[in-house]
Amino acid sequence: MKFAVALTLFSVLAHMRQVNGDVYAAHVASTAAVTVDGQAATQQTDSQGLRFLLRQCSGAVCPGTYFDGRRLFGVTINSTALPRIEPADSYLRALRIVGSLDFLAADFAQQGGRILDGGAITVGDCQCRRLFVTDPDAVPMEVDVDPRTWLVAAARSPGGAIYAMRDYRRVGSYMLPFRLDRDRVPIEQYATRSVVATPLQPPHGLTVQFASKPATVALDLDSATPGANCTLGGITVHCLFDTGNSGVAMSLELAEQLNLNPVGVFNVSGLGSYATEVVRAGPLQIGGARFGDAEYVVLSDIHRYGYDLVLGADVFAAAAPLTLDYEHHVLSFGVDERQAAPSIALGFDNFVPVVDVLLAGEPARLAVDTGDQSTINLADEFYALHSQIFKPTHVQNVGGIGGDSVEMMGTIPTLQIGPLSTGPQAIGTTKTLRGTANGHLGAGFLSNFLVLLDYPRERMALLPKRS
């Protein structure tokens, strides 16, 4: 009896391979019409095996996500990929195992995968064959195969949503679904699908060349927020190195001076929010580091603060590791990591680095924000739920992207971050600041240290200033 079941399962899988061959190894490019923030956009999806790169494009502006088979990454409009805070996604991996037919690959079992025969089952008008597909790093999936076509009709995790594959069409030598439903609601309706001859490449951010390593730039002497002179498109302007920025941005005044045409639109947020244009410019010279062309978000309210460029995640990721040496007023790209203190784990929330801290013993997750002059600046919503952290003693007016606001100020007795514990620290909460994570760990705190940031390795180190 065991021999008969195994043979039957072998026959089912053989029929499926005959229909779709090595589709799990093919690079498939797909497009679909979608709506993003009420505007028509094009969704571009490239997939190969368990990996996929999904972009939602409005004009030439295409932010998205990348899945490497285990982790999901956010992708900026300049193709910088940074891991999301969420842990390894076993459910998404399971969907890709089924969607790509990776379980038909010869090495699936060698990697610890298993396929069990669930026998015949009626699903609608289909007398389907059910398979149980498991992988050590994925949730188990029930897969229903239509013996009339030997194609996957539906899949689900036990008790989870039902994903139905519909509207199969021939694309090259493969049969691919053009519609995907979740619990009978269409979630993907492809307009085009094609097989690409070249392999799928992971997203790669800005190109950078170094005249030497480390490449250094002198920072402003009179400001806690790190600023310096940079050159963009042949024009030298004042730049802010802002880890709180999810990409790169320029002032409206600089965009007009460079006579740049918009290539798309983008929504920005800080103390307020607004829709603005995106332009393409370059090259960018920062000391001994030269970056290629990039897409810059145009900000109408940064020139008044003395900056015409705000350099964030795209630059910090491309030129990692780097240090901000507040004691000697120097920023260095491509530094020698042997000087680093014990590392502190970084996560990323909308491309902004975040760390876990204890504020007077209260757990919080704060964005590492070199562009915020505050020491600790809590989001209004977080403070409303944790008002015991500090008692406000005075208020001050503050300004930032999107508008102006009021910050209530006080003091906490201790701050702990990684292995480091400090004494009393200034702390505030800003009205209208939704913020990244629960608030910001700003330049008022960071300027007491030599700060090493390594975005690709997801870590930070803090060395107290000798002075």
pLDDT tens per residue across span 267-304: 776 665 678 899 999 899 999 999 999 999 999 888 98
What architecture is the 2-196 domain classified under in CATH?
Clam (2.50)
**Fold annotation for 339-464:** Cathepsin D, subunit A; domain 1 (2.40.70)
| Whether residue 400 has pLDDT greater than 90 | no
Q: What is the pTM of this model?
A: 0.91
| Whether residue 22 has pLDDT greater than 70 | yes
Q: What band does 338 get if pLDDT is binned at 50, 70 and 90? A: low
Lowest average pLDDT, out of 263-277, 354-368, 411-425, goes to 263-277
Parse the chain into domains and list their residue ranges. Answer: 2-196, 208-333, 339-464
d(CA 278, CA 264): 5
d(CA 374, CA 399): 12
pLDDT tens per residue across span 158-179: 888 999 999 999 999 999 999 9
Q: What band does 4 get if pLDDT is binned at 50, 70 and 90? A: very low
**Fold annotation for 208-333:** Cathepsin D, subunit A; domain 1 (2.40.70)
Considering the chain, what is the average pLDDT of its residues? 91
Of all residues in the chain, the percent with pLDDT exceeding 90 is 76
Length of the chain: 467
pLDDT at 333: 92
Same CATH fold assignment for domains 2-196 and 339-464: no
